[in-house]
A and B are shown apart, each in its own frame.
Chain A
Amino acid sequence: MSAVSSWSELGGIILLSLAVSGTAVLLASAVGVPLGSLLGLSRFRGRPLLVRATYTLMGLPPTVAGLAVYMLLRAPGPLGGLGLIFTPTAMVIAQWVLVTPIIIGLVAAAVEDKDRRFRETAVLLGATPWQARLLVLREARPAVFAAVVAGLGRAMAEVGAVMLVGGNIRWQTRVMTTAILLETRRGNFGDALVLGGVLLVIGFLLNSAIHRLQTGEG
């Protein structure tokens, strides 16, 4: 029997994927954009270490992030009393853990690059230190949007973390990637391919958005 029985179920899975990843990325942006900007604009002792740590966390395997959140949220865990394990909220938390370092790292790199190119020009034009920082951030805007979209792409595509903390429960925590995994295991390659196609189309749209932001086209 197919795990996705109807179009309405397929629609629900796609909507849940978008809702979970979208929420996770919004929350990750709320933290990651200011922190990344700060990291990109400032020079302090220990900054190189912090940057390396961020880059390491950018490559955090989803299963590791999922495991950490699972340990926190499972019934006997420190936050087990909240009853969040195997809910969409748990999936949002796990993806937030994955995506926040990506947004911090990409934003910091973009801001640092613009800082090198534009800070001196701004200062020479008579900008106060704050005016100069604002001008640098203004130049980094497209790259900041691109970082957020890249984070969304990563969240939509990951499977390990949402599987661990969401449990792939039908009608509740099943998203596109976990549904593909299940369909494949059951031998329903047709359904898996349809879901994979939908995921690819969403990925293509996200990448088109990044491209437009980075080249300033459109």
Chain B
Amino acid sequence: MTPREEVMTAVGLKKSYGGRLVLDVERLDVRRGEVLAVLGPSGAGKTTLLRLLATLEEPSAGEVRFGDLVWAGGLSPADLLHWRRRLSFVPQNPVLFTGTVRFNVEMALALRGRDGPAASADVEALLDRVGLLPLAEARAGSLSTGEAQRVCLARALVTRPDVLLFDEPTASLDPANVAIIEETLREAVRCWRPAVVIVTHNLFQARRVADRAALLVAGKLVEVGETGHLFDRPSDPRTAAFVRGEMVY
């Protein structure tokens, strides 16, 4: 197996709110063509980690590296824009703008100055992939949660980002919607090999989609390793307890 190229790296990354340290990660790599599942109990700092990677939060200490750029707070607006335009973020609860399904997916391209027939073709292909082409002209407000989340996924993929960040993308969805989202994600990874970070509570999902998994407990990385290894031969007792479905603190 060829060694995988690191796309994004967190080094000595810390975040505190009001003096309380909620995240303290020594090092975490996100690699091209790889799906990394971030697991952990509620309040472990998983979402905070994603928000730091997306530059939505400033590190209290340490940094995130992405290409030539370093996020330790204080990036210029142009650099911030460049950073965010190379990634996509799918939140737990879909947020769609007023307008049609097509408008919502096209927006990601339009904001980057891309329109015309090529852009439209990309939008149609993705809508087709997530099974929403028949609803392309439907109003976003009329969709079910599962459909809306599939629009969010199409919108996240249409720009072919280098990094995809998912925050519990299927937490409130039924199995059919989960299957479409996971399969679309796998296809994207095969197609242009983005680096993917998926925060999930769902251990089965982590096993299904992730090449590597990381366990975050109380803001600290307990263990990072190949998914099968982490589940079947965990080296930390807390990981062993977590994958057995026991409470860990």
Interface of A toward B, CB cutoff 8 Å: 117-118, 120-129, 131, 135, 138-139, 216
Contacts and interface: CB of A to CB of B under 8 A. Distances in A.
B50 to A, nearest CB: 11
B59 to A, nearest CB: 18
Contacts of B111: 122, 125-128, 131
A126 B84 contact: yes
A121 B95 contact: yes
A26 B187 CA distance: 54
B85 A118 contact: no
B36 to A, nearest CB: 19
B88 A124 contact: yes
B157 interface: no
Contact of A125 (B56, B98, B108, B141): B108
A135 B97 contact: yes
A126 B56 contact: no
A121 B56 CA distance: 11
Nearest to A131: B111
Contacts of B141: 216
Interface string B124-135: 000000000000
Given A120-B56, A138-B97, A125 B107 contact: yes
Contacts of B98: 138-139
Interface string B90-127: 01000101100000000110011000000000000000
A102 to B, nearest CB: 24
A126 B81 CA distance: 6
Interface of B: 54, 56, 77, 81, 84-85, 88-89, 91, 95, 97-98, 107-108, 111-112, 141, 155, 159
Contacts of A120: 56
Q: Kindly name the residue among A122, A125, A138 whose own CB sees the greatest number of chain B CB atoms within 10 A.
A: A125
B104 to A, nearest CB: 9
Contacts, number: 38
B54 A125 contact: no
B81 A125 contact: no
A122 B98 CA distance: 13
B97 A139 contact: yes
15 contacts: A117-B95, A118-B95, A121-B91, A123-B56, A123-B84, A124-B54, A124-B56, A124-B84, A124-B89, A125-B111, A126-B85, A126-B108, A126-B159, A131-B111, A138-B98
Contacts of A125: 107-108, 111, 155
A128 B84 CA distance: 10
Q: Kindly name the residue among A123, A124, A127, A131 whose own CB sees the greatest number of chain B CB atoms within 10 A.
A: A124
A125 B111 CA distance: 8
Contacts of A127: 111
Contacts of B91: 121
Nearest to B112: A126
Nearest to B86: A126
Contact of A129 (B77, B85, B88): B77
A144 to B, nearest CB: 13
A125 B106 CA distance: 11
A121 B152 CA distance: 10
Q: Kindly name the residue among B56, B91, B98, B155 whose own CB sees the greatest number of chain A CB atoms within 10 A.
A: B98
